């Protein structure tokens, strides 16, 4: 009995007349997979780094994220606490095991409760660190794992994300190339989330409403 796999592949090959396809075709496929040539990259993404950061902030705000920028890493715990207070939220956050997060001077905010681990669904606010940022569309890139569990990106109503200014790049290609460097060619984190603004839906009469199933609000702290 031929497997469905063979049946499908055979049907595809028959339609494409793959027998008469020359060897160059196979080589072109190999080469494309190996070299991953870049295509058209918008000019707006290719600017000096400081301008990229500005564009990132502008684009993120345009999709209803709130953004603030701090000079020093030390300032982050205070900003997180301020944000929770300003929104009248419970003074607690859930975050992952990210060393950068752990090393923040949390002692400056003794009243802030922190829990390390995944989100369970009853937390008001989650805190993550982004792997990267994409200026051209104001997009955050987060990777799964114990450092920044995926559930934190989606379950809490408020998602606060810190990103180091040096991790902001112009375009998708640059950030994805960094992923390739970190995880190895052909490999990916289990989950890579590109997040552009807080969740929304236009399914009720084409009216755009914020806060569908994911976070209602997204707050970004750019560090550096």
Partner 1 sequence: MQITSPRFKLNAREAIADPQLQRALAHVQVGFIEKRSKAAGKLPEFDALRDSSRDIKNHTLANLDLYLEAYEARVTEAGGHVHWAVDAEEARKIILNICQEAGARRVTKGKTMVAEEIALNPYLEERGLEVVETDLGEYIVQLRKEAPSHIIAPAIHVNKDQIEADFRRFHTDLPPERNLEAPETLLAEARGVLRDRFLTADVGITGANFLIAETGTSIIVTNEGNGDLTQTLPRVHIVLASLEKITPTLEDVSQLLRVLARSATGQEMSVYTTFSTGPRRPGDPDGPEEYHVVLLDNGRSGMLGTQFQDMLRCIRCGACMNHCPVYHAVGGHAYGWVYPGPMGAVLTPSLVGVDKAGHLPNASTFCGRCEQVCPMHIPLPKMMRHWREREFERHLAPASARWGLRFFAFFAKRPALYRPLAGLAMRTLGALGRAKGRFRRLPLAGGWTSKRDFPAPEGKSFQAQWAQRRSGR
Output 72 or 185, the one with its CB closest to partner 1: 185
Using the contact rule CB under 8 A, the part of the chain among 19-27, 47-55, 99-107, 123-131 near partner 1 is 19-27
Interface residue with partner 1, options 53, 80, 93, 176 (CB under 8 A)? 176
User: 96, 199, 108, 73: which is closest to 145 by C-alpha?
Assistant: 96
- Residue 212 engages partner 1 in binding (rule: CB under 8 A): yes
Distance of CA 206 to the CA centre of its chain: 26
Beta strand pairing call for 209-210 and 200-201: antiparallel
Q: How far apart are the C-alpha atoms of 32 and 193, rounded to whole Å?
A: 24
Output 79 or 143, the one with its CB closest to partner 1: 143
Residue 55: its H or E element? helix 49-62
- Residue 33 engages partner 1 in binding (rule: CB under 8 A): yes
- Residue 5 engages partner 1 in binding (rule: CB under 8 A): yes
Residues 76-135 that bind partner 1 (CB under 8 A): 96, 117-118, 121
- Residue 32 engages partner 1 in binding (rule: CB under 8 A): yes
- Residue 196 engages partner 1 in binding (rule: CB under 8 A): yes
- Residue 172 engages partner 1 in binding (rule: CB under 8 A): yes
Interface residue with partner 1, options 81, 135, 195, 220 (CB under 8 A)? 195
Q: How far apart are the C-alpha atoms of 21 and 18, rounded to whole Å?
A: 5
User: What is the DSSP code (8-state) at residue 205?
Assistant: T
Contact 128, 148 (CB under 8 A): yes
- Residue 202 engages partner 1 in binding (rule: CB under 8 A): yes
DSSP SS3 for 90: coil
User: What is the DSSP code (8-state) at residue 121?
Assistant: S
Contact 93, 62 (CB under 8 A): no
Interface residue with partner 1, options 89, 91, 180, 224 (CB under 8 A)? 180
Residues 133-152 that bind partner 1 (CB under 8 A): 136-139, 144-146, 149-151
Q: How far apart are the C-alpha atoms of 82 and 125, rounded to whole Å?
A: 13
Residue 4: its H or E element? helix 4-16
Output 29 or 85, the one with its CB closest to partner 1: 29
- Residue 1 engages partner 1 in binding (rule: CB under 8 A): no
- Residue 63 engages partner 1 in binding (rule: CB under 8 A): yes
Using the contact rule CB under 8 A, the part of the chain among 42-50, 71-79, 81-89, 123-131 near partner 1 is 42-50
């Amino acid at each position: 009995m031929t497997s469905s796999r063979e049946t499908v592949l055979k049907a595809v090959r028959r339609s494409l007349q793959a027998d008469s396809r020359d060897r160059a075709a196979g080589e072109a496929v190999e080469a494309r997979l190996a070299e991953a040539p870049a295509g058209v990259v918008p000019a707006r993404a290719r600017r000096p780094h400081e301008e990229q950061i500005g564009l990132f902030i502008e684009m993120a705000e345009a999709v209803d994220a709130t953004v603030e920028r701090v000079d020093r890493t030390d300032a982050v715990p205070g900003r997180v606490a301020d944000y929770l207070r300003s929104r009248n939220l419970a003074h607690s956050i859930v975050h992952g095991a990210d060393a950068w997060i752990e090393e923040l001077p949390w002692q400056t905010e003794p009243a802030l409760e922190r829990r390390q681990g995944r989100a369970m669904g009853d937390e008001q606010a989650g805190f993550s660190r982004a792997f990267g940022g994409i200026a051209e569309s104001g997009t955050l890139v987060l990777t799964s794992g114990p450092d920044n569990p995926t559930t934190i990106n989606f379950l809490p109503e408020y998602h606060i994300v810190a990103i180091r200014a040096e991790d902001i790049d112009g375009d998708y290609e640059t950030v994805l190339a960094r992923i390739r460097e970190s995880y190895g060619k052909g490999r990916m984190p289990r989950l890579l989330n590109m997040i552009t603004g807080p969740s929304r839906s236009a399914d009720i009469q084409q009216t755009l409403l914020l806060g569908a199933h994911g976070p209602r609000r997204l707050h970004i702290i750019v560090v550096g």
